[in-house]
């Protein structure tokens, strides 16, 4: 569940190919927005850079989400003296598995959920900690503008789709015809610059980056698209309002933002690199709950993690770093030689930094865009969505629930959980409601999709990440004018290193969080 194209990585194969990629590959891969190299040289999980003399030099790590945990775990294995500060009473950050509200041992992922086939960092540590990955199911049906369609019937029923100006039977990627001349211009530029093929490479050793594109070398009229929103560009190119609305429910759902807030450059480059967009999925999640992964990291780190220590102030000079935090209501501090900041920018901007970081860094900290996410888990006493005649167990909709799917497929008992993922304006609207009101909307919406739903309804629970006191946002996205933000936010500055999904080439994912933590660990080890 993620962003539209907050950054891009080269996709496997020919950049000018028309071959379609899966939804999350389109979202997470392609060419990232930012100049410079994709990965620091020499990054490798299997060939760890050992510290020269870690001795007693202390590394302070702020934030025990997956980024901070991976960084701490990697440094600890290399023999470093670490201390990990966490505001919450648990590890994992935006990885949040709810268990207590549900019956029969059911659970629901109310935060980060999916593991893709290319998420090698998650898979590496899942294997190390003895965890398995359960593959998700493809979408069965579509419910838009009050009409129901089975995915398999869309081709034959394309004339019945209730949207104007669409081509073919696919709801996804309808915006491409309005931006294709920009895509073609980039293709011409890439040929002129002998950039024709790329392969993704992450530090798991599965693949290698052969080349990268410096975004800022693109033609100026292409770069200027970063100053337009996706909605503005589509309107400028004459797209029907239905096309913009479709984009809101197909692609922008993944960005957690609205087309009016997202960089048009991200959309154009995404189409250039991915060549298409569809709803096929290779997604999965950790069997038994995603929270097992951060808990496994935390178990290994043991007392090196200090919980319930929200950081309030970061100070430094040439001799070291001092981090002040609340401990049992009292302000205290710890000193260290270096600091890895692995907290979300949405919280870092509320933290006093003295002296301030470089002006461009501080600007990005203040302005980095985040979307809105609402997840609602609904418990039913019968799994009616699996019965003959049902629209199916995974349904794409334009309702306030957006994506609704059977979450308890690997869980025991006759009861089941439907989980919804809502983003953007719909998430904001639901976020202004009480939890009781949210459940009424969820129950009513489920009845539209599955008429029998109210008969088996038991209860539900919601999670709106924008009201979470230690997040106040969902995950990062590329806002208008923010093509360089990822590069700036990930840049080392003096005694400070920066991790988190907003700094990763695998942005907005568990995989990206882990990758960023390992990158920071290697930076520190090389500097030591």
What are the domain boundaries of the chain? 58-93+295-369+478-527, 97-140+371-467
Burial of 56 (0-12, 13-18, 19+ CB in 10 A): exposed
Query: What are the pLDDT digits (tens) for 465-497?
Result: 999 999 999 989 999 999 999 999 999 999 999
Please report the pLDDT score of residue 29 as a whole number.
36
How high is the pLDDT of residue 124?
96
What's the Rg (C-alpha) of the chain? 23
CATH code 3.40.190.10 for 58-93+295-369+478-527: no
Tell me the Ramachandran region of residue 300: left when phi exceeds 0, alpha when psi lies from -120 to 50, beta otherwise.
alpha
Distance CA 512, CA 509 (A): 5
Q: Are 92 and 299 in contact (CB under 8 A)?
A: no
φ/ψ of 525, rounded to 5, equals: -65, -40
DSSP β-ladder status, 284-286 and 133-135: antiparallel
What are the CA-CA distances from residue 297 to residues 59, 99, 115 (Å)?
17, 20, 17
Closest listed residue to residue 30, CA positions, set 371, 282, 267, 284:
267
**Reported pTM:** 0.86
Which pLDDT value is given to residue 49?
A: 31
pLDDT of residue 26: 40
472 C-beta neighbours (distance < 10 Å), count: 15
| Candidate CATH numbers 3.40.309.10, 3.40.720.10, 2.120.10.30, 3.90.660.10; the one for domain 97-140+371-467 | 3.90.660.10
Q: Please give the distance of CA 79 from its chain centroid, rounded to a whole number.
A: 31
- Residue owning tokens 């709801």: 171
Please name the helix (run of DSSP H) or strand (run of DSSP E) that holds residue 424, with its range, or none: helix 424-431
Instruction: Give the pLDDT means over successive 10-residue stretches in the chain (528 positions).
Output: 29 35 42 39 32 65 98 97 98 96 94 90 97 87 92 79 85 91 91 58 40 74 96 96 90 77 90 62 85 98 97 96 97 97 97 98 97 96 92 93 91 93 93 96 96 95 96 92 95 97 91 97 94
Q: Are 82 and 304 in contact (CB under 8 A)?
A: yes
What pLDDT is stored for residue 118 in this prediction?
Answer: 83
On the 0-12 / 13-18 / 19+ scale of CB atoms within 10 A, 393 is: buried
Alpha carbons 140 and 333: distance in angstroms, whole number: 53
pLDDT at 275: 54
Contact 334, 323 (CB under 8 A): yes
The whole-number pLDDT of residue 282 equals: 65
Q: How far is CA 135 from CA 115, 287, 295, in A?
A: 8, 9, 21
């Amino acid at each position: 569940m993620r962003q539209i194209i907050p950054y891009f990585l080269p996709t496997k194969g020919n950049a000018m190919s028309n071959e379609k990629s899966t939804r999350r590959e389109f979202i997470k891969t392609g060419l990232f927005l930012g100049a410079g190299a994709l990965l620091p040289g020499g990054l490798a999980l299997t060939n760890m850079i050992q510290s020269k003399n870690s001795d007693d030099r202390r590394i302070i790590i702020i934030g025990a989400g997956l980024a901070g945990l991976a960084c701490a775990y990697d440094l600890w294995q290399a023999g470093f003296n670490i201390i990990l500060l966490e505001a919450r009473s648990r590890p994992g950050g935006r990885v949040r598995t709810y268990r207590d509200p549900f019956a029969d041992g059911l659970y629901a992922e109310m935060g980060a959920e999916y593991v893709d086939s290319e998420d090698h960092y998650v898979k590496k540590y899942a294997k190390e900690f003895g965890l398995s990955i359960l593959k998700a199911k493809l979408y069965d049906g579509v419910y838009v503008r009050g009409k129901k369609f089975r995915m398999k019937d869309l081709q034959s029923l394309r004339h019945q789709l209730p949207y104007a100006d669409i081509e073919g039977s696919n709801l996804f990627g309808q915006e491409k015809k309005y931006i294709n001349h920009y895509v073609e211009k980039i293709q011409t530029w890439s040929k002129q610059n002998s950039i024709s093929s790329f392969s993704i490479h992450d530090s798991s050793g599965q693949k290698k980056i052969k080349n990268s594109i410096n975004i800022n070398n693109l033609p100026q009229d292409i770069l200027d698209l970063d100053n337009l929103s996706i909605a503005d560009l589509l309107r400028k190119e004459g797209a029907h309002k239905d096309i913009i609305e479709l984009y809101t429910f197909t692609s922008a759902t993944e960005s957690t933002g609205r087309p009016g807030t997202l960089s048009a450059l991200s959309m154009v480059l995404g189409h250039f690199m991915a060549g298409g967009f569809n709803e096929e999925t290779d997604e999965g999640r950790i069997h038994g709950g995603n929270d097992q992964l951060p808990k496994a990291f935390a178990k290994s780190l043991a007392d090196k993690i200090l919980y319930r220590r929200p950081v309030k102030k970061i100070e430094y000079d040439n001799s070291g770093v001092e981090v002040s935090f609340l401990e049992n209501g009292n302000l205290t501090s710890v000193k260290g030689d270096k600091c890895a900041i692995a907290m979300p920018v949405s919280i870092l901007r509320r933290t006093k930094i003295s002296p301030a970081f470089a002006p461009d860094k501080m600007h990005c900290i203040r302005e980095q865009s985040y979307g809105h996410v609402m997840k609602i888990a609904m418990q039913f006493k019968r799994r009616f969505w699996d019965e003959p005649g049902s629209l199916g167990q995974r349904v794409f909709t334009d309702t306030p629930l957006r994506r609704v799917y059977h979450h308890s497929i690997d869980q025991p008992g006759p009861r089941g959980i439907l989980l919804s993922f809502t983003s953007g304006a719909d998430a904001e609207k639901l976020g202004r409601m009480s939890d009781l009101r949210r459940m009424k909307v969820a129950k009513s919406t489920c009845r539209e999709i599955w008429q029998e739903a109210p008969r088996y309804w038991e209860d539900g629970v919601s999670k709106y990440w924008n009201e979470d006191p230690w997040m106040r946002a969902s995950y990062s996205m590329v806002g208008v004018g923010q093509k360089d933000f990822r590069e700036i936010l990930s840049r080392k500055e003096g005694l400070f290193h920066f991790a988190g999904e907003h700094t990763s080439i695998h942005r907005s994912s568990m995989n990206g969080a882990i990758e960023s933590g390992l990158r920071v660990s290697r930076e520190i080890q090389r500097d030591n």
